[in-house]
Each structure stands twice: as structure tokens, then as C-alpha cells.
Structure 1
């Protein structure tokens, strides 16, 4: 299964550019080069983000895996996590480290000795920190003792942080299987097999803990699945992405962005262009709008905001799905997920620039860091980023 996934990943990596050129385009035709838009100077910039910490992550021992060096051009989204006033991050070469949120000084570190491809999943109550390696190994660390609690090798790796909740470590793997392991021992408790298409985008949606009885997973078959985390029983599923072309590449419908919950409303988006809102109290679809994305959505007041595959930032009414505005100034800049920061929205790009937009879609300020940004995270009026160069930044807003 591992070899199949590697072949599939290589195939998709070479074809995805073609798949985004437009329906009806032959794979034999060289796609038109899409240059990132040049940035326009922001007049009368508003100060929104105040720097708190900048951390250059040290390297671990996982520089080599199966005699193959880590490819520095390989874009991997190593997300950080927060436990109380401590930031947990992991370098690509396998050093998991904890830092004081204020000041950025290192508190402890654990070298797991392998290249890491999925960032930090945590459970605050038990102090469990989980990362995943390229070989498919899931490693659980006790944040209190700073010791490796257990290691478990799965048939496939994952590119998304594990969901750690309800005494379960739930991993949405690249082979289309969701694995649940015991938080205490690492033993497999259950697994759920989603349908696996022959071709899909390289990526996996970060799982979402909805409540004590429900965990939600986005999958490569264009669906979201709700599963009981204790016993693995599927509760319901909804189709989000729909095939829209003749070839396998054009028919990709992955749900790679983490589903978003606001009150009793659930939102999900697919790479094939469907943005769907659901009412969780009735199970009914509220609306379906048009936006193709592999990034998570965010909510700002009554707005639902996403970043398209082409680099448009688009806002919808989160009840009706009506498009409210669209900003196309960041075309082809390989945007991160947008994230609400107070009264504004932030989105990062391939040059490490964070763009801040107001609720009308106007860019009002920019902040720069080093290296390509892959995702943005906000919690307790702090914005967290990690670049592909291994630099973690913390801002207050």
C-alpha cells in the first residue's frame, strides 16, 4: 500500500498543474505559466499584527530516510499546537520542541530521528503530543515527562495532524483509511475505510472534533464523514465535492480543507469547486456555492471566507451562500488558508508575506516572515505561523 501511495502522489504532483488549467485541456498541452501577481503597495497601512516571538527551529536526526535526503522543495504543512502557555512545534527532520509562548525560549525537546510529514496534534488534558513521520510512524510524546510514550507504524503516512481526543489518536492517512489508536498505548482500536479514488490531490484534511460523540473527517472521495471516536461507528456522511470532468485528473473532488463549525452550522469545501453549508440540527443543506479550494475556511461575523486554488480571496454570506466580495490581487501566490484575526482576515503566501484584509476585502496591511507559509492559526488573540524554512512566528492582534 505504501508504494501505491508514493506512485499516486508522484502522479498527482505532476498532473495537478494541468488539472487546474481548465476543463477540456489535454494533458499533452503544456500549461500556460502562471506568474504570481506582483504586490501593490498598501497606502496608509493599518498596524494589526504585533510580533511576540520568532523561533528558528533546530534540526533533528531525520535528515535521511531510506538513504534519501529530505527534499527542501517539498512543501509540507507542519502545523504548530498550543498547550496552555506553551507552543509545540516540530522541524521537518524530526525535532519536537516546546517553547514559552512569551519570549520564545525553548523549554524541552525530543528528537524522534525521522523526517516528519504531519504536524503537531495535542490533547491538553493528558498532555499528549503526536506527530507523524514519512515512513508512516505515529509518535506520541508525554509533554509532562518529555518522554516518548509509544510509537506505532501504520501502513501509510498522513500529511495532516492527528486528532487527539476521547482517549483516541485518530489519523486520516494517505491510503484513504482513518486509523484510531489508544492514546495511552498506541494499540489500534478501530479503522474506517473511505473510498479511495485513483488520482487525488496531495493532501489530507485535518480532522475536526465536533463533540464527545462525533469526529468529522474530509476525504479524497469528496465527502465528509462523521464517526463516533470511541468505537469507530460511522454516523453520517455528506457529499461535498463532485466530479466535473472526463479525465481522472479533472474529476478530482478532494475535501482537503478542515471542515468549519460555527454554532450549529458546518461548512466544507472541495477542490472541484463546491462550497457547502449544512445545518447540523436538521442535517439539511443550507446552500451550495462555487469555490475551488484545498484550504480551510474561516468565518468573520456573518461572512464565510475562502482562498481559491488560483489565489482569489472570496467572501460569502454564511447563511445564504451569496457571494459578498472577491479580492483577486493575490493571484497565483499559493495562498494559505485565510484566518479571522479580530475584525480582520489574514492570509499568507509563497514569499512568506501575511496579507491583512478588512471585512470589505480590501488589503490594509502586510507583514513579512522568512520562507513560504503553508497555514495560519489563530488562538486567544495570537496568530501562529510556520514556514517551509522552519521559522515559527507568533503575533498578537
Structure 2
């Protein structure tokens, strides 16, 4: 009876997650894939817990994507009520804590002495890394779910209405704004832009990828990645929900929901290769292999040069995996029941698994060689080490 009840609870949670993923005029959504039961395997490594901490009330009932950020030996994390904390990444000792008095809704970005984040009421804040004091705060067009993205001078913010705003990193002053038309029904949230000094690559819920000139916000080129198809509004969703992956040699990899995985030339937008592939997650590139998680929670390795599939792991189907991270030769993924999975990047086989927290893991783990930092949905922050 306990097993049956646990199974029903898991299926109920998947239904809730499916509903929470949608925004706009959706009234209901049925999960397409039932979660597979986990199978035993011969572990090739162990995951040892180094320390644990509590980050306020966690991600909240809406499971806001408040991903932590690691910079210069300190990990910064926040809860949905606006409590921000800094922890020593090695020991877990808390350095400081501040209460913003406003609900945090975006992932954190820690860089060059500042921590940047967005809020539910459409503000962007910069906090001093040394003590958590607010350096500046600026209002943008609407709620911010995507982590703000910096270059040397700008902080680029994509809000849920599809507006991209560039702010001065030092002062928060608005530099330029780019707007687009969004469909009535979208996945909850937005894609996260990829920002370098000259340009910003931004994906939208209308299935388009745009390259913006960072001097003015004017489009340099635009490419349709996914085309709406099907009869229902859900079938016709084509959100670019992940973050474009840019390589040093100028290739760009983009995923889309109900669409394609596309490799492009970043300077021109010319398509190098494409594959049918529905995903709202951000891929990770390791060497010449591109690793993605599709909407069914299949983990897939592609040859980044040709787009040919190298391997596919279907054992975690329906388990609402996070975007993949990379650590010590492994892909690192969390799932809706709070398990952390390690897969060998060479063949996709499991190397280790542990359960972090029963509240679930919806955020991509943060990794640093063999160290993994995981923030569970209820606010439990855990640092783990890969041991062989």
C-alpha cells in the first residue's frame, strides 16, 4: 500500500509540474510521459555530502527558477521571499544574509563583485558580494525569471513578456530595449539570453532567435528555429526556453519546444545542421559532444560537429530532469523526486546516484570539477563531492 500511495503521489506531482510549466490561457495540461521507476545499477563512483545549509523558504509553490551562482569561492543563493545568502563554497559557513523585502523570481548571477537578480514585481537588483548591500535597483517591463546576463559594460535582462532590456552594469541605467510579439500561450518563463561584448543572442516564445547589437539593441539577424504546428494551442507552442550555447569558434546551439535542435554560425545565423528535438532545457557542450535533455527526459549525446546522435539514455523518462551540468567526466542532473544522477559522458551509463531531498530538484546543479552544489525546491542547499 505504501508503494502504491507513493506512486500516486509521484504521478500527482508530475501533473502539478505540467500545469506550472504553462502560462497564458492554458486551463489544463496532461503530462505526456509517466515517470519511470529507478533501476539499480553498479555504481562507479560515490557522492559524499560535504555540507548542507538551508536557504529560507526555498523556491515557493510556483517553483521559481532561483538558481544559485558560484563566484570566487562563494556560492550565492536566495529564496522566493527575498532572502539572499552567501556561503563559503568549501566549508558551507554562511558569510552574510540580507532580506530584500520583495519576492525573488530569477536565477542569480555573481560576477565582478556584484550579485544580480530579478524579482516578481519587475525589478532588477545589484547586490554587493561582500555584504549583500543593494548597489542599485531598476524596474523593467515585467516579472523576471531568466538570470540577468552580463558583459563588460551591460547587464541584459529578458522578462516574461519577451522584452529584452540592457542596463548599465555599474549604475542600472537603461541603455536600450528590444520588444517582440509573444503568443497567447507560452511555457512559464523565458529563454535566457547569451551575452558577449558585441552582441546578445536571445530566443523567444514565438520560436525565433534574434541577434541584437549591444550598442543599440537593433537586430543584426533573425532566424526562425521552430514553426508552430498542430491543432491545439499547446501543440503549437514553440518556446525557445533554454539558453543558446556559444562556442569559442563561433558556433551557436539552440533548443526549442515542439521544434528543433539547431547548430548555427553565430556571426550570420546560417544553419550548420538541425535535428527534430523538443526541449525547453539548456544543453551543455563538452569537447565535441553536445548533451541535451528532451521533453521526455531522455538524455541524448550529439556529435556537435555533425548533429549525429552518439547515445541516448531513456531510463529517466518522465522524471522532469533539470538541464544537464558537467563534473569530472559525468553529466549531472536532478529530478522531480529529488534524486541526483551522474551519467558517464562517453556512453550515457549511470555512474552514481543519491537522493538529496524529497521536495525535488528543478534547477540545474552548479558544478566545480568534482564538487556539485544542489538547491532543492524546499531550500535545502547541499554540497557533494564525487569520490571514486
TM-score by length of 1: 0.85
Deviation at 1:155, TM superposition (A): 2.9
Candidates 342, 353, 359, aligned match of 1:366: 353
In structure 1, what is the equivalent of residue 39 of structure 2?
A: 40
> Is the CA contact 2:372–2:383 (under 8 Å) kept in the aligned structure 1?
yes
Partner SS for 2:108: strand
In structure 1, what is the equivalent of residue 201 of structure 2?
A: 216
In structure 1, what is the equivalent of residue 16 of structure 2?
A: none
In structure 1, what is the equivalent of residue 100 of structure 2?
A: 112
> Is the CA contact 2:146–2:192 (under 8 Å) kept in the aligned structure 1?
yes
1:290 aligns with 2:288: no
Candidates 315, 329, 348, aligned match of 2:334: 348
Q: How does 1:262-273 map to 2 (within 5 A)?
A: 262-264=247-249, 265-273=251-259
In structure 1, what is the equivalent of residue 80 of structure 2?
A: 92
> Is the CA contact 1:219–1:254 (under 8 Å) kept in the aligned structure 2?
yes
Runs of 4+ residues deviating >6 angstroms = none
1:229 aligns with 2:206: no
1:247 aligns with 2:246: no
Shift in CA distance, 145/228, structure 1 to aligned 2, threshold 3 Å: farther
Q: Distance in 1 between matches of 2:200 and 2:48?
A: 35
Q: Distance in 1 between matches of 2:320 and 2:90?
A: 30
Deviation at 1:262, TM superposition (A): 2.9
Q: Distance in 2 between matches of 1:160 and 1:227?
A: 17
Shift in CA distance, 147/303, structure 1 to aligned 2, threshold 3 Å: same
Q: Distance in 2 between matches of 1:232 and 1:283?
A: 17
In structure 2, what is the equivalent of residue 201 of structure 1?
A: 187
Shift in CA distance, 164/59, structure 1 to aligned 2, threshold 3 Å: same
Q: Distance in 2 between matches of 1:194 and 1:344?
A: 38
> Is the CA contact 1:168–1:230 (under 8 Å) kept in the aligned structure 2?
no
Q: Distance in 1 between matches of 2:258 and 2:205?
A: 11
In structure 2, what is the equivalent of residue 11 of structure 1?
A: 25
Q: Deviations 1:103-129 (Å, cap 9, x if unpaired)?
A: 1111112210122111212332xx121
Structure 1, gaps ≥5 residues long: 1-5, 22-33, 61-69
> Is the CA contact 1:49–1:396 (under 8 Å) kept in the aligned structure 2?
yes
Q: Distance in 1 between matches of 2:199 and 2:99?
A: 33
Deviation at 1:331, TM superposition (A): 1.3
In structure 2, what is the equivalent of residue 383 of structure 1?
A: 372
Q: How many residues matched? A: 362
RMSD: 2.2
Q: Distance in 1 between matches of 2:108 and 2:228?
A: 32
> Is the CA contact 1:122–1:163 (under 8 Å) kept in the aligned structure 2?
no
> Is the CA contact 2:225–2:259 (under 8 Å) kept in the aligned structure 1?
no
Q: Distance in 2 between matches of 1:101 and 1:178?
A: 32
Deviation at 1:236, TM superposition (A): 2.1
Deviation at 1:102, TM superposition (A): 0.8
TM-score by length of 2: 0.87
Q: Distance in 2 between matches of 1:49 and 1:236?
A: 45
In structure 1, what is the equivalent of residue 56 of structure 2?
A: 58
1:261 aligns with 2:230: no
Range that drifts further, 257-266 or 289-298: 257-266
Partner SS for 1:254: coil
